[in-house]
Amino acid sequence: MHPIVGWVIGILAIVILGVVVDLLLAENKMGKFVKSVFATVTILVIILPLPSLMRNGCNFDENFIIQNEFELDRNFLEFANRIRINALERGVEAQLREDGVTGARVSIEGRVENHDVVVDRILIDIANANFETIAGQFNPRDLVQRLIAGYLNIDRARIVIV
């Protein structure tokens, strides 16, 4: 935690504790004494860190302004885009299962532009794939390429079968 944040939290904690004690104590000499002690402690909590802040210097822009706001937004967008691409991968795998190709693993390399996923390349691992309901002679690589190109409406050259 940053020292200034700890300082502010300390001030808030002592003020809240003072208010609670004030509410619980009766209006007598002891109550006035406790209130004055809490007031003194609050002033000390506020004043004691000031000499070290002045001696070491304090950059309020650095301490109180979020400088990496753009960086946080960019990281969030990259995360959200990766989720969309992962969902598309799972969707392609589900569609392949519906068409009788089970066990194929799909990996999409792409990006999101204007809320649309742009596919640069698709890697399909058919090493553990089963072609259950498809009868007749066929080339598994050609079949998977044709199916995926049809699902995503992309050029078959972007589909790499491994």
38-91: pLDDT as tens digits:
888 888 888 887 777 667 666 555 555 555 556 667 777 888 888 888 888 888
pLDDT tens for 127-154 read 888 876 555 556 777 888 888 888 888 8
Q: What is the pTM of this model?
A: 0.53
According to CATH, where is 3.30.300.30 located in the chain?
71-161
Alpha-carbon distance of 127 to 144, in angstroms, equals 12
Which residues make Cβ contacts (< 8 Å) with residue 134, sequence separation at least 6? 99, 100, 101, 143
- pLDDT for residue 25: 76
Measured over the CA atoms of residue 124, residue 118, residue 150 and residue 97, the dihedral's sign is positive
Q: Are 100 and 132 in contact (CB under 8 A)?
A: yes
For the structural domain made of 71-161, what CATH number should be given? Answer: 3.30.300.30
